[in-house]
Amino acid sequence: MDREISVTYSEKIIRASVKRQWQNVIGVSGFVLLLVLSALFLYLLVSGDRTWLFGLSTASFIIFGGVVIFGYFRLLGFAMSKFRRMNTPVARFRFNDDGISIVADTGKTEFAWKLIEKILRSPDIWILMVPGGGITLPVEGIDDVLLDFILERAPSIK
């Protein structure tokens, strides 16, 4: 198969991509840990406990919570910066048996299928995770044949 499509990016698509990538990085265990740390902190605060355990839980909650929040805004800032550098928010994707090439007014990139580590899927976007980041592919208007082709070619998905 040799297929080319054009996709148009918007701020909404970029924000959805950042949110999905951030959720992937933090993971379920990260959100559970944040919940446990916040519950412990609140319990110790309300109970009046001011021992070393309160200090440790407070520091852990603040540091981990800060990392989680900072991570989101760092990803968002990086993605929005790339988006705003585009004169025209359109990219051309070419899919073939060897790999994927992407051309936008900000540059061109090509990579082999074997570089895709995973695909984060949601109803509006797919994010092709490759070393160094993710490539957002808005899936609206893309037929199932091409989406199936992408899933078949990405070796780590099988």
**pLDDT per position as a tens digit, 8-26:** 999 999 999 999 999 999 9
pLDDT at 132: 85
Portion of the chain with pLDDT greater than 90, in percent: 93
- The yes-or-no verdict on residue 157 having pLDDT over 60 is no
User: If you ran DSSP here, which 8-state letter would residue 131 be given?
Assistant: T
Classify residue 76 as exposed, middle or buried by CB count within 10 Å of its CB (0-12, 13-18, 19+): middle
- Please state, in angstroms and as integers, the Cα–Cα distance from residue 5 to each residue in 11, 122, 140, 153, following that order: 20, 19, 11, 17
Whether residue 90 contacts residue 104, with contact meaning beta carbons closer than 8 Å, is answered with yes
User: Domain ends where: 62, 85, 108?
Assistant: 85
Are 128 and 69 part of one and the same domain?
no
Q: Which domain holds residue 134?
A: 3-8+88-153
Q: What is the mean pLDDT of residues 35-55?
A: 95
Could you tell me if 144 and 79 lie in one domain? no
Percent above pLDDT 70 for the chain = 97
pTM of the model: 0.86
Q: Residues near 66 by Cβ (< 8 Å), separated by ≥ 6? A: none
Q: What is the pLDDT of residue 158?
A: 45
